[in-house]
Amino acid sequence: MDLKVLYEDNHLIAVFKPTGILTQRDKSNDSSLMEEVKEYLREKYQKPGNVFLGLLHRLDRPVSGIVLFAKTSKGASRLSEQIRNHQTIKTYQVIVIGKPKNNQATLIDYLKKDKERNRVVLSKDPKRGFEKAELEYETINSNKKYSLLKINLKTGKPHQIRSQLASIGCPVVGDVKYGAKTTLADKSIMLCATDLEFKLATKQDVYKISITIPKKWKNMLK
């Protein structure tokens, strides 16, 4: 894997996660982005032994985009606090099947993880054991068969975007787990974390990382 570093300082490192790569190694024992970043740091700084790397958030395996890691315990502590307090801004872009009824809206649902099936159950009403999930979306472009949406994530729950968009009749392209009829050749889904805004670990400066969506996505909307 050719690691693409998007930002790096003494405490933090942000990289691009391609589709099909785990953020963190799981029971499948497949290689992960976290291991790739550790190896990059080990080689760049000639660090012997184990390299510290704090996992701040995850992207699902079929999702691409920006992932931020902490290189130090101070970076991990301060960025984790920002994430808990909803002080980071995460923006996603996604191509869905169909077109949402409203060009922009806020979706509030309640989710519960089904670990055996590796998916979430969604409820429109509060229930015991379910967690609140909130996002804002805006329709950027549409040819009615497919639509490009921009997502401002208010809460970071597993499979949140995928399940909430499916609940309004607009599943993510390629996401057969949540209602799409066909998979993509590379088993990806058309969901990408394109923007991440956060405060630096040891400064008051706010930093924003942005990437563009894949070219093939744009071609679907012509």
Q: Which amino acid is at 179?
A: G
Q: What is the pLDDT of residue 127?
A: 95
Q: What is the pLDDT of residue 76?
A: 97
User: How far apart are alpha carbons 119 and 114 in whole angstroms?
Assistant: 5
Cα 208 to Cα 2, 23, 63, 68, 132, distances in angstroms: 23, 21, 20, 12, 27
In the predicted model, residues of the chain with pLDDT beneath 50 are: none
| Domain coverage including residue 53 | 5-220
Token pair listed for 102: 């409203």
How big is the chain by its Cα radius of gyration, in Å? 18
Q: What is the pLDDT of residues 117-142, one digit of tens each?
A: 889 999 999 999 999 999 999 999 99
Q: For all residues of the chain together, what is the average pLDDT?
A: 95
Nearest one of 62, 64, 96 to 166, comparing CA atoms:
96
Which backbone phi and psi does 165 adopt, to 5 degrees? -70, -35
Number of domains in the chain: 1
List of residues 6+ apart from 114 with CB closer than 8 A: 120, 121
8 Å CB contact between 181 and 124: no
Token pair listed for 180: 């799409």
DSSP state of 19: T
Taking phi over 0 as left and psi of -120 to 50 as alpha, with beta for the rest, 143 belongs to alpha
Q: What is the pLDDT of residues 167-205, one digit of tens each?
A: 999 999 999 999 999 999 999 999 999 999 999 999 989
Q: What is the pLDDT of residue 47?
A: 86
User: How far apart are alpha carbons 81 and 176 in whole angstroms?
Assistant: 34
Q: What is the pLDDT of residue 42?
A: 95
CATH value at residue 139: 3.30.2350.10
Beta-sheet strands, E only, within 35-125: 54-55, 64-70, 89-97, 104-114, 119-123
User: How far apart are alpha carbons 216 and 213 in whole angstroms?
Assistant: 9
End-to-end CA separation in angstroms for the chain: 31
